[in-house]
């Protein structure tokens, strides 16, 4: 279990948003991922040069870009 923002993520021990994204992105030229939770940092950590990572809201992040709230995600894209 891992606490998040207004949630608790429960997953298989070695599973994370990062491992899932890495697997899904194997055959993709570019990956776009936006997230507002601390658990989204696992996905940001595995993103490659040229991918688009967007942190939604405040807080430390590995994402390349940041927007204020979810309504800004569509405008950013």
Residue 57's region, left for phi above 0, alpha for psi from -120 to 50, else beta, is left
CATH number for position 7? 3.40.50.1000
Range of the domain at 67: 2-76
Residue at token pair 């998040």 = 4
β 2-3/65-67 pair status: unpaired
Q: How far apart are alpha carbons 53 and 63 in whole angstroms?
A: 5
Q: What is the pLDDT of residue 1?
A: 66
Identify which of 23, 71, 39 has the alpha carbon closest to the alpha carbon of residue 31. 23
pLDDT per residue rounded down to tens, the chain (77 residues): 677 777 877 766 778 999 999 999 999 999 999 999 999 999 999 999 999 999 999 999 999 999 999 999 999 98
Q: How many domains, in total, are found in the chain?
A: 1
pLDDT at 9: 73
């Amino acid at each position: 279990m891992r606490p998040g923002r207004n949630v608790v993520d429960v997953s298989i021990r070695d599973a994370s948003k990062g491992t899932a994204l890495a697997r899904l992105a194997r055959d993709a030229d570019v990956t776009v991922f936006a997230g507002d939770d601390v658990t989204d940092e696992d996905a940001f950590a595995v993103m490659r040069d040229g991918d688009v990572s967007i942190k939604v809201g405040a807080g430390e992040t590995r994402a390349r870009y940041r927007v204020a709230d979810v309504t800004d995600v569509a405008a950013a894209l």
